[in-house]
Amino acid sequence: MAATGAAVALAATVVAVTATSPRIAPHAVVAPAEVVRFPAPSAAVPEGYAGLVEEAQTLAEWIVARHPSRPQSTALAATLAAERGDQETAATLWRAHLERHPETAEGWYRLGLYAVKEGRDAEAAEWLERARRLDPSLPDIQGHLGRCLLKSDRVDEAAEVLEPAIGDDRGGAVRLFHLGHARLRQEKNTEARAAFQGAIDRAPSYTGAWYGLATALARLGLADDAERARAEFRRLKAEDAENAARNLSRDESARMRRLLAGWYAAAGRIAALDGDMEEAEGLLSRGIAVDKSASSSTAAPPTAAGEGL
């Protein structure tokens, strides 16, 4: 989705400064911003998608201005920017935060994921490796890093990153899927077959894993098994296309209401961390007003990668 005009306001709060490290360019810090107020819980909730996005933008400006030292504020504002399709602003917010707090693993993780989306795999691998050193428990960090290393033709390094340790199932199916491709590149077809089968065991509808399994089986000379795997791949691919068509017609306003309610809940938790319980209550109440099905205990906002703050 193209970034809306509301992105300008948040981007204007970010001011470039002189670089102090060549690894994060351009460098930025968040300038003090005039504190805006989020809508009162009783205010009318916008009915259309554009109005809900505008309210989300107001929330992003407000949370960064009110709680600039909290990494959760950066995460929330960057998530809202990414939802609008404004990945540049999201990345700028994280760079600004990393200037002040370079040990924030999630910041490097997000920069890595943004670079992945733009096809900058070598740069993504650098950011993701730094994130992994700081926090190896980040969501599917091995899978993302391993994929970037594969795309950069660093096959042996990718296999080492992706090989699960005994008892370690972090990343699950996705990690094993990329490991399967690393083993194919290494011409270790038996190991590739095991990796793809492991991915399917964890996620039976993993379309790409069935294609990888078919490839490994064919290389092993198991033609009948390979054809069965290809048939399942074709079936799932057709099913994926049908699901994608249905998703295109979903109610975007309803989805944005749910997201915005979760973001208000996250903002409320940030306010509570700073001891402002009245402010926290107001934010949580506004979230419930936006989406009646939400509550302060269950509304969990997704970050750019889909997990809660």
Q: Give the domain range for residue 17.
A: 1-98+251-309
Residue 111, domain member (yes or no)? yes
Residue 146, domain member (yes or no)? yes
Instruction: Indicate whether 283 pLDDT > 60.
Output: yes
pLDDT (0 to 100) of residue 228? 97
Please provide the DSSP assignment of 171-194 as one string: THHHHHHHHHHHHHHTT-HHHHHH
Most confidently modeled range among 81-85, 237-241, 293-297? 237-241
pLDDT (0 to 100) of residue 306? 34
pTM comes to: 0.68
Instruction: Indicate whether 109 pLDDT > 90.
Output: yes
**One domain, residues 245 and 255:** no
**One domain, residues 72 and 111:** no
Using CA of residue 201, residue 204, residue 206, residue 207, what is the dihedral sign?
Answer: positive
Structurally, how many domains does the chain consist of? 3
The residue among 268, 259, 309, 269 whose CA lies nearest residue 286 is 268
Question: Where does the pLDDT of residue 158 fall: very low under 50, low under 70, confident under 90, or very high at 90 and above?
Answer: very high
**One domain, residues 225 and 303:** no
Residue 170, domain member (yes or no)? no
Q: Which of 3-12, 69-78, 187-196, 231-240 has the lowest mean pLDDT?
A: 3-12
pLDDT (0 to 100) of residue 33? 44
Who contacts 229 (Cβ-Cβ below 8 Å, separation ≥6)?
210, 211, 213, 214, 217
**One domain, residues 228 and 210:** yes
Question: Where does the pLDDT of residue 17 fall: very low under 50, low under 70, confident under 90, or very high at 90 and above?
Answer: very low
**One domain, residues 3 and 47:** yes
pLDDT digits (tens, 9 = 90+) for 207-241: 999 999 999 999 999 999 999 999 999 999 999 88
Whole-angstrom distance, CA of residue 95 vs CA of residue 110: 10
Residues 193/195/198/199 CA torsion (nearest 10 deg) = -110
Residue 213, domain member (yes or no)? yes
**One domain, residues 141 and 90:** no
**One domain, residues 72 and 30:** yes
Whole-angstrom distance, CA of residue 158 vs CA of residue 142: 9
**One domain, residues 5 and 90:** yes
CATH label of the domain that carries residue 110:
1.25.40.10
**One domain, residues 1 and 91:** yes
